[in-house]
């Protein structure tokens, strides 16, 4: 666990009509600014980005806007340069994970407050201190940085997101049940100290989804619970100071996929969600059956073929996954599954 001072988002606004009420929200939370940088992609500028620009400019705020199409080092450098050149006192990210990751890192590196406004619920990065940026070899690298100053989630916006992206958010959130198991295992084996509050916060959202049942995943009640769970997962990482509460053996496997078979064919939440079925079976995790059943009911793509992997490739991925963050003790280090063990679990999980 990190010894650094805990920094949390100062506010979270979740509900409908949040984009319309943006000025009121910023004023309520005493966010003072004269110049804002809005980051978006080619799609999100048309589903609310232009409205944000108009709203801010009507109050004589100078607004600069930039398009973010990739979350890579080149784009991050460009946005950092834009901030240094124009000196905004507020950065607003309006988009999916790529936009938010670049905005978060660039704002933090320039010590500018960042407001996260996700347009989808595909992963827990919307409220976390983690920014995932691809390096020059197209490998995603996680950077620990400052979390957003504030998070604004408009259900009217996220409900329009592609169903696949919402499914990925479910996979990312439920994969925490694997990650928390690993963290407790590491503590039990005296490999790491843990923050029990952070672990409980990381797993509560996934448990809530399972309790809620397989409702239509783009319904308001499901989206609100998914959003709350992803925010709590982000807060758990803030408390811990690392991604540990939400990143265990399933994330090691996902990172191994990224490393050995780039570019990844699956979304991050799909990769960790599918990997979690394998790791939870290996853990003999009490939530395995519930998660497997839930996936089937909502139509989650729980097959290796969705990731473009065959059995032999996945075996290679798992056997090499312990090289990822080797100091992070998980079920993979504890069991050290052989190729035959992996084959047996693949048959059991029907991946």
291 within some domain: yes
Calculate mean pLDDT across residues 244-254. 96
176, 103: one domain: no
173 within some domain: yes
201 within some domain: yes
Tell me which residue range forms the domain holding 75: 11-158
- pLDDT band per the 50, 70, 90 thresholds, residue 137: confident
98, 219: one domain: no
* CB distance 65 to 40 below 8 Å: yes
Name the domain boundary from 127, 158, 189.
158
Please report the pLDDT score of residue 270 as a whole number: 97
Alpha-carbon dihedral sign for residues 57, 59, 62, 63: negative
4 within some domain: no
Please report the pLDDT score of residue 1 as a whole number: 52
197, 231: one domain: yes
268-303 pLDDT, tens digit per residue, is 999 999 999 999 999 999 999 999 999 999 999 999
Please report the pLDDT score of residue 139 as a whole number: 84
118, 250: one domain: no
CATH number for the domain including 282?
A: 1.20.1090.10
- pLDDT band per the 50, 70, 90 thresholds, residue 3: low
In 225-256, which positions are buried (b, 16+ CB within 10 angstroms) versus exposed (e)?
Answer: bbbbbbbbbbbbbbbbbbbbbbbbbbbbbbbb
Q: Judging by DSSP bridges, how do beta strands 130-134 and 140-144 pair with one another?
A: antiparallel
Provide the domain count of the chain: 2
Distance CA(89)–CA(37), nearest Å, equals 8
146, 203: one domain: no
3 within some domain: no
139, 240: one domain: no
Name the domain boundary from 141, 158, 175.
158
197, 270: one domain: yes
25 within some domain: yes
* CB distance 269 to 169 below 8 Å: yes
CATH number for the domain including 60?
A: 3.40.50.1970
pLDDT at 4 over 80: no
296 within some domain: yes
What average pLDDT does the structure give for the chain? 94
Calculate mean pLDDT across residues 34-58. 95
1 within some domain: no
75-133 pLDDT, tens digit per residue, is 999 999 999 999 999 999 999 999 999 999 999 999 999 999 999 999 999 999 999 99
96, 151: one domain: yes
184-216 pLDDT, tens digit per residue, is 999 999 998 888 999 999 999 999 999 987 678
56, 117: one domain: yes
170, 99: one domain: no
Name the domain boundary from 158, 176, 203.
158
182, 294: one domain: yes
pLDDT at 5 over 90: no
Q: Distance between terminal CA atoms of the chain?
A: 33
143-169 pLDDT, tens digit per residue, is 999 999 999 999 999 999 999 999 999
Close Cβ partners of 103 (under 8 Å, ≥ 6 residues apart): 39, 68, 79, 91, 92, 93, 114, 116
Three-state secondary structure call for residue 331: helix
283, 206: one domain: yes
């Amino acid at each position: 666990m990190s010894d650094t001072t805990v920094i949390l988002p100062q506010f979270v606004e979740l509900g409908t009509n949040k984009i319309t009420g943006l000025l009121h929200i910023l004023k309520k939370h005493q966010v003072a600014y004269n110049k804002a940088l809005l980051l978006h992609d080619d799609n999100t500028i048309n589903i609310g980005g232009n409205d944000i620009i108009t709203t801010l400019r009507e109050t004589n705020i100078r607004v600069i806007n930039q398009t973010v199409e990739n979350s890579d080092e080149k784009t991050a450098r460009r946005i950092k340069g834009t901030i240094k050149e124009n000196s905004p006192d507020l950065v607003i990210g309006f988009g999916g994970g790529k936009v938010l990751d670049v905005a978060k890192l660039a704002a933090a590196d320039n010590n500018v407050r960042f407001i996260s406004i996700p347009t989808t619920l595909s992963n827990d990065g919307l409220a976390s201190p983690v920014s995932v940026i691809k390096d020059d070899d197209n490998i995603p690298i996680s950077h620990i940085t400052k979390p957003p100053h504030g998070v604004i989630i408009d259900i009217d916006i996220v409900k329009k997101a592609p169903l696949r992206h919402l499914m990925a958010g479910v996979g990312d959130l439920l994969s925490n049940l694997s990650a928390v198991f690993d963290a407790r295992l590491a503590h039990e084996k005296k490999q790491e100290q843990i923050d029990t509050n952070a672990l409980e916060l990381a797993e509560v959202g996934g448990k809530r989804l399972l309790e809620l049942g397989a409702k239509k995943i783009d319904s308001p009640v499901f989206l609100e619970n998914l959003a709350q769970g992803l925010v709590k997962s982000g807060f758990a990482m803030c408390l811990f100071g690392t991604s540990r509460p939400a990143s265990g053996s399933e994330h090691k496997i996902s990172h191994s996929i990224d490393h050995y078979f780039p570019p990844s064919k699956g979304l991050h939440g799909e990769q960790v969600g599918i990997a979690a079925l394998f790791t939870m079976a290996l853990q003999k995790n009490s939530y395995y059956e519930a998660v497997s059943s839930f996936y089937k009911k909502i139509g989650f793509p729980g097959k290796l073929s969705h990731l473009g992997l065959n059995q032999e490739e996945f075996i290679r991925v798992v056997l090499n996954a312990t090289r990822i963050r080797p100091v992070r003790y998980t079920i993979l280090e504890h069991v050290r599954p052989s190729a035959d063990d992996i084959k047996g679990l693949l048959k059991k999980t029907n991946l």
